[in-house]
């Protein structure tokens, strides 16, 4: 089975930040890949998938998410830094 590349994972973050992907869609996509325990992942990919999986968690009674949009942008920036490290 073809696992997503780090480019594909990063594209999910970009689509999320740009509003082309919902948090629910990102979460479900990541969850699907994390369920395959026979796939080998590098540390950065696994870290990034873990962030996407759960990105739609509620943060309180007001309907806000646990992780706000700024946090998601920060994660995208961190992913890009980790790629070049």
- Structural domain spans, the chain: 6-84
Give the Cα separation of 53 and 9 in Å (integer).
11
| Secondary structure (3-state) at 58 | strand
Place of tokens 């970009």: 14
pLDDT in tens, 16-32: 999 999 999 999 999 99
Among residues 57, 64, 58, which one has the least CA distance to residue 31? 57
Give the Cα separation of 23 and 26 in Å (integer).
5
pTM (global) more than 0.85: yes
Tell me what pLDDT residue 38 has.
Answer: 82
| Secondary structure (3-state) at 65 | strand
């Amino acid at each position: 089975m073809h696992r997503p590349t780090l480019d594909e994972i990063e594209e999910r973050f970009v689509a999320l930040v740009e509003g082309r992907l919902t948090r629910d869609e990102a979460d479900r996509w990541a969850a699907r890949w994390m369920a395959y325990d026979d796939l080998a992942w590098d540390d950065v990919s696994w870290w990034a998938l873990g962030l996407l999986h759960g990105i739609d968690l509620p943060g309180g009674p007001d309907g806000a998410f646990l992780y706000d949009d700024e946090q998601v942008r920060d994660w995208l920036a961190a992913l890009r830094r980790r790629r070049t490290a």
